[in-house]
Structure 1
Amino acid sequence: MKFLNFKKYIIIFFFILICSVGAVIFKNRTTQTIKPTISSNTRVGIPVVKKSKYKGVLKKKFKRVRFSGTAILIKNNKIVDSYTSDWANINSKNTLSTSYEIDSLQKVLTAGLVMMQVNKGTMKLTDKVNKFIPELPGAKDITIRDLLDMSSGLTLKKMSFSGDDLSSAELLDDVVDNVKYDPIARKNKKWSYQPVNFVILSEILEEITGESYKQLFNQTYIKKLGLKQTKFAYENNERINCASGYMVKNDSEKVEQKPNGATIHSELGTGQVYMSAPDYYKVLSNLLNGKILGKNNATKLYLPGKAKYQAGLYTSNKPFYRFANGYGYGFEDHVRISQDGKEAVVVFSNQKRIGRNDLKMKVDQLSNEFLGEK
């Protein structure tokens, strides 16, 4: 009878042992499956979440507008959805690391370079322009802040340039000779979208630092943040796959845009940089969250006051987020981003459809849904 009881205990012991081992194995497998699935693609530059409830959102939103380009959704500083479609050029398709000309989205980055100099004490936002470019019309009235917010009273009709090159000095001479100044508009802080404001800011940056805009941009953004897919439009860099820009008429006629070198140089500080969508997000988020400028200075530069446009960014109030749009040379670019930089919608396209605003409408719709989440 005792032997039977002993045998019974042995069986129970082995049963418990097997169950324990099984539980450990199950626990390990379970732990492995619920670990965050985040990749660290070095070409992308920011974390990519492989499994997310947002997967497929971008494709669903943009597939009906014949989207050509790269789009990303950012949540908590990570890519939670991405969508690429169509061709970058005759040799390659658009991918997550394809670079696009960012056009006017460059202005917010130029504003960051200006604030860097404010931090160093080489200029103040209240400085008058005549301290740096006395020959500019209205220079004794216009401040650095006026230029940043496009309330300077300056207007300049689009100029045409020919040739392969244009120096900063030549560009400044052309601006001084052709720009118009309205003192009443400046006094009343009347807003007018005029890219010339950021050309002048870029000229001032070169004047006070003794360095080119490109050098300042490279030091502050490309080197500091380790950007892999960013270059200037006039720069040869075969490592970076740049999309060609196309104007599209009647949804069928595609014409590649090939601006000459002088025209590209004339976009100083306002639209002469190629970036991938992840690279652009990385820079803008670090500007807004204060990692580049410091939180107080980032707030001072970018947070909206009475102006609807400050330092390259517009403001949406319901829901609250910052945004900018870029158009030119066959490209159409949009960014919508939370003030802390943690959430964003970035959409870069290498096709601009003449007379159509479908893509922007879809971006705005998506941004109101995504950035308005509680």
Structure 2
Amino acid sequence: MRVLLVLNSGSSSLKFQVFDADTLAVVATGKVAGIGGAARLTARFPAGGASVDELLARHDHDGALQAVLGLIDAHDDGWTPVATMHRVVHGGPAFRAPVFVTPEVMAQLQALAPLAPLHQPFNLAGIAAADRLIAGVPDIACFDTAFHAGHGELQHTFALEVGLRERGVRRYGFHGLSYEWIACRLAAEHPALAAGRVVVAHLGNGASLCALQAGISVDTTMGMTALDGLPMGTRCGALDAGAVTYMIRALGMDVDEVEHALYERSGLQGLSGISNDVQTLLASEDPRAAFALTYFAHKVAQQVAQMAVSLGGLDGLVFTAGIGENAGSLRDAVLGRLEFLGSFEALVIPANEERMMAVHAQRLLQTLAS
């Protein structure tokens, strides 16, 4: 069977799905967790077959990918990878659609690493590992920024002097693969709503909103990096830029300390002092947990209203991703704060960025073959 291998490489994990290259049926899904420590491979096969749960001898990204490839090689159906897709968080202004990875493309993506320091280096590590370990199979980069590439100047511009803007200091937006998938599902399942004004709330450990007009992204809450907009699991979201200069000048923090504080010790974790996990916070009786959740719901509602301004109204609100799909009380808290907007449809649609990547790969491979 010809298969497509979809990889999502993080700092300590490698998520993967294997699709039938012709039908896009999922034939395997899994994750290597604990990269850099006690790495463990877990996998399941939706069409049947024993699940896998095993510790790995190697703990680096190469070892994680080798374990996934071994899983594929050992399968009775004789799977043959024909392409490997990689989620890449930042494509900058140049990459507006998925591309085959070349050395030149890799060099451009490496230059964007400072814009997504928690994601880009590890996304690229996955590509490098695949290039070494899967000879002759093309690598395809799919970008979280690409879906927002058509934003107008009003949406992507910061109020900065032109010299800085010309050097790439602008808004890009993220979670584009998730939003593109939701736009596809809306078109297929809710065509009347898809033709209208919809805000999609991708609420997970990373969180943002996207304003869709007839299925096209016209605005989003994340900016130049994946730090802006909504508060998240450990990221602060929108912050007075002067707070950063205060941390450096008055509090004596260096750039690395500030970056660590904003990316890894803020958000729900920082607000509660307990956890970045919503289920943990919902189960807690600590008032700090309740405050963190109330703060999060309040900010989501505020920024939904902001997206509604960009759309000139609101016909629908779609919740997706881990929190959006599973935390009903938080959805209710957001919707309660938006009653003043009048009537609009509220939906929950599961995220499926991996399938969106497989769709892109199938299209690119067909173009290559024609």
| TM-score, with length taken from structure 2 | 0.30
The structure showing larger relative contact order (alpha-carbon pairs under 8 Å, at least 6 residues apart) is 1
| TM-score, with length taken from structure 1 | 0.29
| Structure of greater Rg | 1
